[in-house]
Amino acid sequence: MDIYERLKKDHVRQRDLASRIMDTSGDSKDRRELFAKFREEVDSHADAEEQTFYAALIEKPDGQEKARHSISEHKEAADLLEELDELDMGSGGWIHKFEKLKHEIVHHLDEEEKEVFPLAKKLIADDKAKALAEAFDKRKTAEKKNH
């Protein structure tokens, strides 16, 4: 498995969790559990992705712009996650803000898969892409322990 396949696996999980959260209502046990999983998944994925995949991409002059853009989108998502933590999970404002976050994350994942990955495949050697998948898994596991 290379880094692209590995990241897509997480992307499927993030899309699924976000959709499942949108199907919850109020300050319910389901919403709390799903949001905790979603938050851990998004945070650990973004951190590990920046430390492995984007660190490799940013080394390439032709990859810097896309890498920086994606990292800034990670920051925007992290800010929205912080705002959600401050809101009452049972309020209409919470689900409205989560819907905005879901939209931003899905946009980010689509952009990575359609624009960033094809570019990276031209810039990062295949053997490096396979090594990055292993490095990503190790970093993500470490990040989950930190969150």
Judged against a pLDDT cut of 70, whether residue 35 lies above it is answered with: yes
Average pLDDT over residues 44-66: 97
Q: How would residue 146 be classed by pLDDT, with cut points 50, 70 and 90?
A: confident
Answer with the residue of higher pLDDT: 136 or 146.
Answer: 136
Domain-by-domain residue ranges, the chain?
3-146
More reliable by pLDDT, 146 or 85: 85
- Give pLDDT tens digits for 65-111: 999 999 999 999 999 999 999 999 999 999 999 999 999 999 999 99
pLDDT band at 147 (very low <50, low <70, confident <90, very high): low
Q: How high is the pLDDT of residue 106?
A: 97
pLDDT tens string 5-32? 999 999 999 999 999 999 999 999 999 9
**How do residues 108-123 score in pLDDT, each as one tens digit?**
999 999 999 999 999 9
Could you give the CA distance from residue 66 to residue 19 in angstroms, rounded to a whole number? 27
Helix (H/G/I), strand (E/B), else coil: 117:
helix
Which CB contacts under 8 angstroms, 24+ apart, belong to 88-94? Answer: 88/27, 89/26, 89/27, 89/31, 89/32, 89/35, 90/26, 90/27
